[in-house]
């Protein structure tokens, strides 16, 4: 599917876009774009004057009117083609998604029996069994078992991923295939509301989604069009008063050249192409507003584990404290981890095996496992003999030991700080009222993160790292990664608090997450990027979902959002700057014969009044298709501050928007003047 996304601009799409360009001439559709609707009305008026010259013009003007009509018609068609081309890419992507949406037979659990039913009959809350080689019939959560799942139909990645009950990797997507083992899945969506259904609806309906910025810009363009319309209508009686004959086609030509037709024709295509770039990047944006908001992000909140670091915190050493021995620490660490299915818990048992250390598994038989919670920051097991074993953050375990009436060894804090200072994570191990030692967990900062955070800093984006580690470990990782700030011993409510604090300062905030605990913060953030491997709660709370489950992709999403805003701003600047050159082409041509002094404005020295008008119109028409590749691909984005970015765009697209038409209109006039 990834390959399909990269080849969405095909000959078939281009042919379909050409056909749709004519279909979109329907006035009902054109009214959605006021700028081009005005051009279409002008085109129709000139056509009438060409077909019925006795009523609307003279026989001598038929040739000029016909030429103006054809140029205006192609102006509208080129604008429609840009929009149709962008829509065609979305429809092609929807078609590729539909191929993965097949009728699947589901093994529905009904009481104590299992019966086969079509996937379309499944409803939220139904329980299904999925075995090796079978397709998952609908979106859901694994409630029992563990299996490898092939998600290539959704993500384009061939490597299977592990899905298991509990934790943050229990979410499965309909249309994916189980390649090993067997899982029990609780369906979490009704027919028509699945993940693939939402993706198809999104890409097929992209052209109908208007973002707040797009609506505001559309209002500005409509206002400018109305102003110039009033100016041109007022110009006619003034010209008659001065005994200057201005025909209707000439006035329409002036109006079309002065209104912002370039950005008016490309505006919709820019927005659709921006959504398409995000989707082709394997990120599902729930709305165009989310993509747009990512371009205005001022603060980015990132989890340490899996985002800044590799996230594979593994036990590397057992550190005794007080009078305990290393073997004793290791034994109780293993007992606390027997039923712990997290990577950290498994790594403790792997370290025991690697070092040839033994422990009595029978102690934990029949014990009650205590899961890790963000509030307690501990996990463990209550043994059948009444003893309680805990492992977790040093300060949390200290409080728990003190609540049990025990004493804390004097060297616990010093040894914990020593581990934290080198970037490790210390987990204290305690039984009842006694701390036996520490588990040294190692994690590594991903290469290149410091440079990426420096790029964000150049964009003016503040980065905040959230971690459950103690302040010393958090400070070490933050310094190594190069983030601007960090929150240590972070709880879910801490993330919400920092998001609200930044939003209160007028900043837009982005964050990533994959767990149920992240859902409130993802909902609070202006841009919430949930991992596809995460829980259903996280994906429902976020306004973007990363199909590749790469938390660091938020950085690229911000760049895409900025590219979208830059492209729209750059082409708007270019379009409005174009009007200056077209002004110097048409105005002198209209008035020079009656007012010779206006020859001073004819700085381009165009051949004749007619060739000047036609040259400006032709340039106005052909600049739209020439800019379609830029609108579709987007302006190249380089990390820099907003002020520098503004200066660069004004120089490149503002000054360029004035110079290019001067050159273009002059070159066209050299040909048109000879032809006339």
Q: Which residues are catalytic?
A: 303
With beta carbons less than 8 A apart as the criterion, state whether 513 and 528 touch.
yes
With beta carbons less than 8 A apart as the criterion, state whether 544 and 286 touch.
yes
Check residue 622 and give left, alpha or beta (phi > 0: left; psi -120 to 50: alpha): alpha
On whether 375 is known to bind a ligand per the annotation, the reply is yes
Using DSSP bridges, classify how beta strands 113-118 and 105-110 pair: parallel, antiparallel or unpaired: antiparallel
DSSP SS3 for 640: coil
Q: Choose among 316, 284, 245, 277: nearest CA to 564.
A: 277
On whether 579 is known to bind a ligand per the annotation, the reply is no
On whether 514 is known to bind a ligand per the annotation, the reply is yes
CA distance 386 to 533: 38
On whether 495 is known to bind a ligand per the annotation, the reply is no
Using DSSP bridges, classify how beta strands 527-531 and 508-513 pair: parallel, antiparallel or unpaired: parallel
On whether 594 is known to bind a ligand per the annotation, the reply is no
On whether 372 is known to bind a ligand per the annotation, the reply is yes
With beta carbons less than 8 A apart as the criterion, state whether 72 and 257 touch.
no
Write the burial class of residue 159 (CB in 10 Å: 0-12 exposed, 13-18 middle, 19+ buried): exposed
Using DSSP bridges, classify how beta strands 462-466 and 368-370 pair: parallel, antiparallel or unpaired: unpaired
Q: What token pair was written down for 278?
A: 């995000």
On whether 449 is known to bind a ligand per the annotation, the reply is no
- C-alpha pair distances (Å), 123 with each of 110, 112, 140, 219: 13, 19, 11, 43
With beta carbons less than 8 A apart as the criterion, state whether 616 and 637 touch.
no
On whether 494 is known to bind a ligand per the annotation, the reply is no
Q: At a CB cut-off of 8 Å and minimum separation 6, what does 610 contact?
A: 64, 589, 676
On whether 304 is known to bind a ligand per the annotation, the reply is no
* DSSP class per residue in 509-539: EEEEE-SGGGHHHHHHSSEEEEETTS-HHHH
On whether 485 is known to bind a ligand per the annotation, the reply is no
Q: What token pair was written down for 175?
A: 């249309």
Neighbours of 399 (CB within 10 A): 15
Neighbours of 447 (CB within 10 A): 8
Rg (CA), the chain: 33
On whether 316 is known to bind a ligand per the annotation, the reply is no
On whether 340 is known to bind a ligand per the annotation, the reply is yes
Q: Choose among 552, 551, 309, 306: nearest CA to 423.
A: 309
With beta carbons less than 8 A apart as the criterion, state whether 98 and 30 touch.
no
On whether 374 is known to bind a ligand per the annotation, the reply is yes
Which residues are documented as binding site for ATP?
Answer: 340, 344, 372-379, 391
Which residues are documented as binding site for Mg(2+)?
Answer: 514, 518
């Amino acid at each position: 599917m990834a390959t399909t996304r990269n080849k969405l601009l095909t000959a078939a799409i281009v042919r379909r876009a050409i056909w749709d360009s004519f279909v979109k001439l329907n006035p009902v559709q054109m009214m959605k774009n006021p700028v081009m609707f005005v051009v279409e009305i002008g085109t129709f008026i000139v056509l009438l004057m060409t077909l019925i010259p006795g009523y609307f013009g003279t026989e001598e003007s038929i040739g000029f009117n016909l030429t103006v009509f054809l140029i205006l018609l192609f102006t509208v068609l080129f604008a429609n083609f840009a929009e149709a081309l962008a829509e065609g890419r979305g429809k092609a992507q929807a078609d590729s998604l539909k191929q993965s949406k097949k009728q699947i037979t589901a093994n529905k659990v009904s009481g104590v029996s299992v019966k086969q039913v079509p996937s379309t009959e499944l409803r939220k809350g139904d329980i299904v069994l999925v075995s090796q080689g079978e397709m998952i019939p609908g979106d859901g959560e694994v409630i029992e078992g563990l299996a490898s799942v092939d998600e290539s139909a959704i993500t384009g990645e061939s490597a299977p991923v592990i899905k298991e009950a509990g934790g943050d990797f229990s979410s499965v997507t309909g249309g994916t295939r189980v390649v090993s083992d067997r899982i029990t899945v609780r369906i979490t969506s009704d027919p028509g509301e699945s993940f693939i259904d939402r993706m198809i609806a999104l890409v097929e309906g992209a052209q109908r989604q208007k973002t707040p910025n797009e609506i505001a810009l559309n209002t500005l363009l409509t206002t400018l069009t109305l102003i110039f319309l009033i100016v041109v209508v007022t110009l006619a009686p003034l010209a008659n008063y001065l005994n200057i004959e201005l025909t209707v086609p000439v006035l329409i030509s002036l109006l079309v050249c002065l209104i912002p037709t370039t950005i008016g024709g490309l505006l919709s295509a820019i927005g659709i192409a921006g959504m398409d770039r995000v989707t082709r990047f394997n990120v599902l944006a729930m709305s165009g507003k989310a993509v747009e908001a990512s371009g205005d992000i001022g603060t980015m909140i990132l989890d340490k584990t899996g985002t800044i670091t590799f996230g594979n915190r593994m036990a590397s050493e057992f550190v005794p404290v007080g009078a305990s021995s290393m073997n004793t620490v290791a034994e109780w660490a293993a007992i606390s981890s027997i039923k712990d299915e997290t990577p950290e818990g498994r790594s403790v048992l792997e370290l025991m095996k690697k070092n040839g250390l033994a422990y009595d598994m029978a102690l934990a038989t029949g014990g009650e496992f205590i899961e890790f919670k963000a509030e307690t920051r501990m996990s463990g097991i209550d043994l059948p003999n009444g003893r309680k074993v805990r492992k977790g953050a040093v300060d949390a375990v200290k409080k728990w030991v003190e609540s049990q009436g025990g004493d804390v060894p004097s060297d616990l804090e010093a040894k914990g700080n020593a581990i934290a200072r080198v970037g490790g994570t210390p987990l204290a191990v305690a039984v009842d009222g006694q701390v036996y030692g520490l588990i040294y967990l190692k994690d590594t900062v991903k290469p290149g993160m410091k440079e990426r955070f420096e790029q964000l800093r150049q964009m003016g984006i503040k980065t905040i790292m959230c971690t459950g580690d103690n302040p010393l470990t958090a400070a070490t990782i933050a310094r190594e990664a190069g983030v601007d700030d960090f929150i240590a011993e972070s709880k879910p409510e801490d993330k919400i608090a920092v998001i609200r604090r930044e939003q209160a300062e007028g900043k837009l905030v982005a964050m990533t997450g994959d767990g149920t605990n992240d859902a409130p913060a993802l909902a609070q953030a202006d841009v919430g990027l949930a991992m596809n491997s995460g829980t259903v709660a996280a994906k429902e709370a976020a306004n973007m979902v990363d199909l590749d489950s790469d938390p660091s992709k938020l950085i690229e999403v911000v760049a895409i959002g900025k590219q979208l805003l830059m492209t729209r701003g750059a082409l708007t600047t270019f379009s409005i700057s174009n009007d200056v050159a077209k002004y110097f082409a048409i105005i002198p041509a209209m008035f020079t014969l009656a007012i010779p002094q206006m020859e001073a404005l004819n700085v381009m020295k165009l051949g004749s009044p007619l060739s000047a008008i036609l040259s400006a119109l032709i340039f106005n028409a052909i600049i739209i298709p020439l800019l379609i590749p830029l609108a579709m691909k987007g302006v190249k984005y380089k990390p820099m501050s907003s002020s520098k970015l503004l200066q660069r765009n004004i120089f490149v697209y503002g000054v360029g928007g004035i110079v290019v038409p001067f050159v273009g209109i002059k070159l066209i006039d050299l040909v048109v003047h000879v032809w006339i």
